[in-house]
Amino acid sequence: MKKYLPIIVLSLITLISSAQSFVIKDSDGNVVTNTEITINVHPSVDTESHDFEISNVTNMGTPVNSVRYENDCTTGSGEFYCWSLCLGAKECGSEYVRGMPFAQFVDANSISPVPLLTDFQPSYSSDEDGLEGSASYTYVLFDNNNPTDSVYITVNYNIDYAVGVNEINENTISNIYPNPAQSSIQFNLNTNIAQAQFEIYSMVGQKVKQVNLENAQGRISIDINDLVPGVYFLSEKNSSVTRRFIVTR
């Protein structure tokens, strides 16, 4: 286990004030600007990916850059992230600070055309399952012309064999997005699922679609072009989890 919180991280976060030009949201649409989130990961999971939506809430288009700080990690794990481009994966302890070579322009009062993508790998340097432990990374987004205008999100990972790899519950599946939807629905599986059977039902309880998944995790997309406009329910056959969504055209 390697633990450290670089002085530069503390210094940078200290500069962040309450009124900023950017807002960070998770895949469920929750505002997570300047906060920490914790994600439970089973050591056997190949990769744990999460998207964050970045919005420019000012009346001026802005070049937004990013930097990642490694606060804490378990030896043998790895990480990479994407913003203006994707930086290759690095093993724990090999590069404490990583920055993008150039910024991504975000229009005034707009959402970034691509999200901030974080990707954690419990067993980066081994073919076997990763070790139990923890990892923590802070991602800072800032105005490339005014770096003190910045926001951050800290992602903590709890790597634990007690985390089920085939358990589906309310915390396993995110809300559906977009909702309403036209051609496809998406949701995130927060843990690795060995097998799952998702079923879509109409308002009158008729099953209209079935999707089988194996070894699934991360973002899941289901085509709904064959569904007529209306209200539907997505259920997982072997659990009590249900998500409501609307189809529009």
> 9 falls in which pLDDT band (50, 70, 90)?
very low
> 52 falls in which pLDDT band (50, 70, 90)?
very high
Tell me how far apart the alpha carbons of residues 135 and 120 are, in angstroms, rounded to a whole number: 9
> 27 falls in which pLDDT band (50, 70, 90)?
confident
The tens digit of pLDDT for each residue in 116-127 reads 999 888 877 765
The tens digit of pLDDT for each residue in 207-223 reads 899 998 877 778 899 99
Domains of the chain by start residue, with CATH? 2-159 (2.60.40.2310), 184-247 (2.60.40.3080)
Least confident of 67-81, 99-113, 162-176: 162-176
Q: What is the mean pLDDT of the chain?
A: 83
207-223, strands of its sheet edge to edge: 207-223, 184-202, 230-236, 242-247
SS3 at position 48: strand
Tell me how far apart the alpha carbons of residues 197 and 166 are, in angstroms, rounded to a whole number: 12
> 130 falls in which pLDDT band (50, 70, 90)?
low
The stretch 60-68 carries a mean pLDDT of 95
pLDDT score at 7? 41
Say if CB 134 and CB 157 are below 8 A apart.
yes
The tens digit of pLDDT for each residue in 162-197 reads 655 455 666 678 889 999 999 999 998 877 776 778
For the cut 90, the answer to whether the pLDDT of residue 84 exceeds it is: no
Say if CB 107 and CB 64 are below 8 A apart.
no
Instruction: Please state the pTM of the whole predicted model.
Output: 0.64
Tell me how far apart the alpha carbons of residues 79 and 70 are, in angstroms, rounded to a whole number: 9
The stretch 129-158 carries a mean pLDDT of 89
